Amino acid sequence: MAVETQRERLDPDLERIARANLKELGDIRIDDVLSFIDRGIENMPSYMDLYRRWESQQWAVGDLDFTLDRQDWLEATDQDRKATLWSHRLFFNGEERVTSTLAPFVWAAPTPEIEIFLSTQMVDEARHTVFFDRWWHEVVGTDAKNLGQLLAEIRPDTNEGYNELFYDRLPSTAQRLATDPKDVDAFIEGITLYHIVIEATLALTGQRFELESMREQGSTDRGFYRGFTAVARDESRHVNFGIKVLQEAVRDNADRFAPLIQRTLVECLPLISGTLDPPDPRYITDYGHSESEILQFAFDSLNKRLRAIGINLAA
């Protein structure tokens, strides 16, 4: 692969979102952040474009102010607290799981440009974990003395879809790459699972509905809104990367990689539905949404990513 030196050119609206600081992110809608992913095949950023975007989008968890968030928490109903904890458990635990399994992907990177980008993603995922750790301490409050204790305390209630994705499939794929970094099939399967299933379909769907609910409630000045929007902007960068990797794999060898990607996705479809299924329907309906609406958004998003890659879900 030739070294990419052409700098990415963004339209003014995307440029504004790309360079927004934490305070300015309070004025930005999540759907505008997601527009980075939907730029289309012709405008896909290069790996080094994505690296440069990472350089310009740095943010610090320590710069967030959770004072208003704490006040909201103290005034919240028991039902609102339960709904928030259910959602945030999924995200917090998920961020730690993806942080802990990403290193083998860096070792298995087939080009230096991919290695460089994946190295930036490791930093992002660790920052996201710290973001939730700080929110849990300063907003909810916890007696946990370290991150390990807190993660054990908040691990999501039994959810077979979530558990299989984050405690079975993702670690086992990472272990395959750690054992043999030259296993290209494992790398492509892992990118499909990590970037398309977990980030593009699950994480960004949850972020979209939670952030829109906060906007409707007039809570865009909260530390969580600003930080979670920054997390979503990071994730949009990661998803662009995953689309590009799989797009190139299908373009180079469709007979080999298209069926592998399709099989991975079909196997994960029930896990996606299971993960997004709340233990109490009111965790969703009380905020003006339905489970079917959220699932529809998730699968519509998935299909858009697949069209960019150049495949569909047909076997």
Cα–Cα distance, 90 to 165 (Å, whole number): 12
| pLDDT at residue 286 is higher than 80 | no
* Nearest partner of 167 among 96, 71, 80, 226, judged by Cα: 96
In a domain, 128, yes or no: yes
Please provide the DSSP assignment of the chain as one string.
Answer: -PPP-PPP---HHHHHHHH--HHHHTT--HHHHHTTGGG-GGGPPPHHHHHHHHHHT---GGG---HHHHHHHHHS-HHHHHHHHHHHHHHHHHHHHHHHH-HHHHHT-SSHHHHHHHHHHHHHHHHHHHHHHHHIIIII----SSHHHHHHHHPPPP-HHHHHIIIIIHHHHHHHHHH-TT-HHHHHHHHIIIIIIIIIIIIHHHHHHHHHHHHHTT-TTSHHHHHHHHHHHHHHHHHHHHHHHHHHHHHH-HHHHHHHHHHHHHHHHHHHHHHT--SSTHHHHTTT--HHHHHHHHHHHHHHHHHHHT--S--
Gap between the Cα atoms of 309 and 296, Å rounded: 20
Domains: count for the chain? 1
Structural domain range at position 276? 65-309
Q: What pLDDT is attached to residue 4?
A: 44
pLDDT at 3 over 70: no
Residue for token pair 């970037």: 195
- Which residue shows structure tokens 């995922």? 125
Tell me, yes or no, whether 59 lies in a domain.
no
Q: Is 220 a domain residue?
A: yes
CATH number, domain with residue 289 = 1.10.620.20
Residue 147 lies in a domain: yes
Q: What percentage of the chain reaches a pLDDT higher than 90?
A: 71
Amino acid code (one letter) for 90: L
How many Å apart are CA 8 and CA 244, to the nearest integer?
15
| Residue 315 pLDDT level (bands cut at 50, 70, 90) | very low
Task: Say if 278 falls within a structural domain.
Answer: yes
Asked if residue 46 belongs to a domain, the reply is: no
What lies within 8 Å, CB to CB, of 235 at 6+ separation is: 199, 203, 204, 207
Structural domain contains residue 185: yes
Q: 298 in a domain, yes or no?
A: yes
| pLDDT surpasses 60 at 86 | yes
Per-residue pLDDT of 203-255, as tens digits, reads 999 999 999 999 999 999 999 999 999 999 999 999 999 999 999 999 999 99
What pLDDT sits at residue 104? 96
CA dihedral sign of residues 287, 289, 294, 297: negative
pLDDT at 8 over 70: no
- Using CA atoms, how far residue 72 sits from 67, 117, 207, 223, in Å, is 9, 37, 19, 11
pLDDT of 40 over the 80 cut: no
Calculate the average pLDDT of the chain: 90
